[in-house]
Structure 1
Amino acid sequence: MRVTSGMLVQNAIRNINSNLSRLDTLQQKASTGKQIQYASDNPVIATRSIKIKSYLSEVEQLQKNTEDAKSWMKFCESSLGQIDDNLDRIRELTVEAANGTYSDDDLNAVKEEITEIKKSILETGNSNYSGRYVFAGYNTGDAPFESVSTAVGEKIMYNGKYLSLGGPISSTVSDEDYKAFYLDNMDKISRQPEMQSAVINTFTATAPALDFSLSLDGVSQSISLTDGTTYDADTLQIELQSKINAAFPSGTGQPDPLIKVSTQDDKLKLTVQDGSSIQIDSGTLNVKTIGFTGGTESIANAKQEIEYKMGVGNLITINVEGNEMFGKGEESLFNTLTKLEMALEGETSYKTATYDEGPPAEVIVETHELDISSLLGDLDLDLSRILKSRSVLGAKTNYVELTQNRLSSNNVTFTELLSNTEDADYAEVSMKLASAETVYSAALSASAKVIQPSLLDFLQ
């Protein structure tokens, strides 16, 4: 076979480029510290690396979740500890006051101290962690607890609702006044069914998109808007209240209306005053038009749990709701303290109110005997409820700490695995790079000798 000078030149250039490409690959490995630069370099390693990185990213987020959850729960546990200490002091004072040896001045001094402790407990109930009220359920932006003066005496409200609408109150309040107060405020009972819309934008109702359904305790009724009417939040509130009253009329002794429609900040609120559940569904009218989501249901005593993800399918509730730790209705801690204050003032009885669905529906007012020693049992129940909340938080905190340790170990293990998968062996790369540089230099030197002679060299 005839070998020409052109063939020699082409082979020399090809070999130089091949050595240069190998040298470039090794230099990239040395400078980046990675085995591959592109997925096409090694699809198997690239796929494995992506999966490991995805898992590590999830682990890092879960570690943040566990740290946030632990900090929240420790803050809650600390707040509950303060309440526990306050209740211990109240119980100690109650035992002293119940022994029958205290004068009126002594009892009054005890009452004053208990009143101040009560204020302290209320303030602790409004504990704020990083701008969020920890005992407020979902409504973490606003202080949940408030003491308000009413026509029947002081009441405690939780997220705008009475923690215990039905008492206790002084026996000097008439039964009729108490019944009227109860009926007038049945839309403000803690944990009653309630739903709120998004902001209502002005719209015009047009046939056939006029009807939607509303269900109260499983009984569904069709509600219709008026064709051609332009609605905003206020006009819609007026018409819906009228239509809902007609669909769900109040019976004898029942609160009127059964479902109260109100507005706030251009949003509608539907509050059940007598019933355990409410649901709204689209008909010819998509209820998104009036700010709701079809199929939305609200039931009585629905919990507001703030959950953090700890792993795949693993959620943990980090919050304690204020109406759970303090109790609601007859079992409220503040009911106990109110009765204790009345007893220390010398009152021997108090009144409570309950709503009986009947028939006939009515508010029943009852009078109860009152003495200081009988309240020790109530205080023990309140203490037990606080201790239970603390123990639940403690158990969850321990679990979160175990999860933190596991995630930390996983992070180390998979970071090492990622390094073994992606990272280049510096010693090996350095050796190969030195070898490639030598080979490349030799190729350049040899090629220079092949390419250098030409016809002119021989004509000289």
Structure 2
Amino acid sequence: MRVTNNMIMNTTKSNINRNKIEVDRMNTQMSTQKKIDVPSDDPVIAVRSLRLRSTLNQIDQYLNTNVKDAESWIEMTQSSLTTLNSVLDKIHTQCNDGSNTYLTQSNRNTILTQLKQLRDQIYQEGNNDYAGRTIFTGYKTNTTLTFQTDSKASYTITEPSSYENIEEKDYYTHTFESFSDVPANEPAADVDKVTIQRIRLSYNAIKNPTDITFTYKMQNGTTATEVLDTTGAGASANGFTFKQMTNSNLNAADYAVGDDEVILNTDTGELLLGKNAADFIRSNKASVSVTYDKTGFNEGELRPEHYFNCTDKTDTANPVKYINYNDKGERMYQDINYYIGNNQSITVNTLAADTFNASIGRDVDELSDAVQFAMNAYDTVEKIKAMQSSERYSSDADQEMLSKWYDAAQRQLDYANQNMQDLYNAKLTTVDNYTKDVNLALTTVGAKGQRLDLVKNRLESNMTTVEKLKSDNEDRDLSDIVIDYTASYTAYQAALQAASKVQEQTLLDYL
């Protein structure tokens, strides 16, 4: 085969160019310390690099975004529940103080002041938010737990309850306030105490009850529902009759509740149960449901949509329906989940209904009412004593009338003191139960925090591992690159020298 000079020159140029490309590649590696510059340099490394980078992005999303957000949400929840626990502890202390037999008017006033302050704080903790989202309101993170101002909102509320909520409550008839002059008439009757079994609803000042149902299990195990006729037209299947009354009507009737009667006090939001009705509900372990209207809410009152099935009718043209219980009466939980790993999520929110019990505020209101009743009764007795000692009322007629009123006032004070002592004693257990619920929620939140810590540690370890794999796949050690660059550059220089020898040949060299 004949080899021409042109063939030699072309081969030489090709070899020089190949060496130059290798020098350029090593120079690029020296600058970037990467094995490849473009995917075509090594498709296997490129594909593996894409997979590792995608895995790193996922881990980074979980670790530095999702887990951090979940941690912040849980920390806010834990802080609010801890504060609520502290408030309940202070309420427990006030109950313990109020149950003492001997209290001065100053002691009572201190208790009343403390309870009012604690009442305002209870549900404010439920309004706490994280990044503009209220943390205890389920999916409705754009609304607060309570009304922030006095509101004229109107709702139809269906409130569930059960036999477990039946309790005894003492009511007092023929009570009276202090007066500035000797009354013209004698006391109508002595102050008296009536003990009635009741189910207390979450709101007072209600109206238009439409459905009051008892759902219970019969002997054969089937479930039955009994609906009271809220028009009062007739008795139910078990002979119970319904009445709708107000405080004034009940006082006028001396709180007389028939054995087979169920009376809804629309002023106080209480379902008063006659003996037979209460026994029926208890013996059948019945659940109770009451549907009613409420218009007007005070600042700090709970918004019904976070607790009950209800319809907001404030805008009559566009009513809004809220569902918190399904057809079986089971609570529908509104879980907010954060994905913290592949096919792994965690529920970060806690529902207000599980911790900020709607009855806490009502219990504190009753405690406040009881101490206020005792304070007013004490002031009345002291006022009558002062009038008896006054020369202005020294006549026999005035003294005789004041004596009768004093006896009635002293009886009222004795009842008020006894009522305060009994109620505060009873609420010690109630507050303990609220505290148990909050402690359970705190335990659950703490467990979630511990789980997040474990996940966080695992993700950090995974990130370190994947970053090492990515570095091993893509990166080159600088010393190795320098060695390879030196070898490539030496080969390039040798190629140039060899080519120069080829180029030195002329026609004279063949003569």
The TM tier, using the shorter chain, reads 0.5 to 0.7
8 Å contact 1:23–1:437 — kept in the other structure?
yes
Counterpart of 1:344 in structure 2: which amino acid? Answer: V
CA offsets 1:9-60 (integer angstroms, 9 cap, x no match) = 1111111111112222222222221112233332322222222111111111
The answer for the alignment partner of 2:372 in structure 1 is 345
8 Å contact 2:139–2:334 — kept in the other structure?
yes
8 Å contact 2:134–2:141 — kept in the other structure?
yes
Per-residue deviation, 1:373: 1.3
Change (3 A) 1:161 1:60: farther
Q: Secondary structure at the match of 1:319?
A: coil
How far apart, CA to CA, are the structure 2 residues paired with 1:111 and 1:59? 55
How far apart, CA to CA, are the structure 2 residues paired with 1:23 and 1:52? 29
How far apart, CA to CA, are the structure 2 residues paired with 1:114 and 1:260? 31
Per-residue deviation, 1:305: 1.6
Change (3 A) 1:398 1:260: closer
Change (3 A) 1:344 1:377: same
How far apart, CA to CA, are the structure 2 residues paired with 1:27 and 1:374? 85
Structure with max Cα Rg: 2
CA offsets 1:291-350 (integer angstroms, 9 cap, x no match) = xxxxxxxx863222221112122111111122221124xxx3222222222222238xxx
Identical-pair percentage: 26
How far apart, CA to CA, are the structure 2 residues paired with 1:341 and 1:261? 32
Match of 1:269 among 304, 320, 330: 320
Instruction: After TM superposition, list the pairs within 5 Å mapping 1:54-453 onto structure 2.
Output: 54-64=54-64, 65-146=66-147, 166-167=201-202, 169=204, 172=247, 175=264, 177-178=266-267, 183-185=292-294, 188=304, 190-193=306-309, 269-271=320-322, 276-277=326-327, 301-328=331-358, 332-346=359-373, 371-453=423-505
How far apart, CA to CA, are the structure 2 residues paired with 1:98 and 1:167? 25
Q: Secondary structure at the match of 1:346?
A: helix
How far apart, CA to CA, are the structure 2 residues paired with 1:94 and 1:18? 93
The answer for the alignment partner of 2:408 in structure 1 is none
Change (3 A) 1:396 1:161: farther
TM-score normalised over the length of structure 1: 0.65
8 Å contact 1:161–1:188 — kept in the other structure?
no
Gaps of at least 5 residues in structure 2 are 162-199, 206-245, 250-263, 271-289, 296-302, 375-418
Change (3 A) 1:300 1:192: farther
TM-score normalised over the length of structure 2: 0.59
How far apart, CA to CA, are the structure 2 residues paired with 1:260 and 1:335? 22
How far apart, CA to CA, are the structure 1 residues paired with 2:38 and 2:124? 59
How far apart, CA to CA, are the structure 1 residues paired with 2:76 and 2:305? 28
Change (3 A) 1:119 1:262: closer
8 Å contact 1:136–1:142 — kept in the other structure?
yes
8 Å contact 1:191–1:302 — kept in the other structure?
no
Aligned residues: CA RMSD: 3.9
Change (3 A) 1:119 1:17: same
8 Å contact 2:127–2:135 — kept in the other structure?
yes
Per-residue deviation, 1:169: 4.8
Gaps of at least 5 residues in structure 1 are 195-258, 279-298, 348-368
Per-residue deviation, 1:378: 1.0
How far apart, CA to CA, are the structure 2 residues paired with 1:74 and 1:188? 26
Per-residue deviation, 1:75: 2.1
Q: Secondary structure at the match of 1:323?
A: helix
Q: Secondary structure at the match of 1:145?
A: coil
Does residue 118 of structure 2 align to residue 9 of structure 1?
A: no
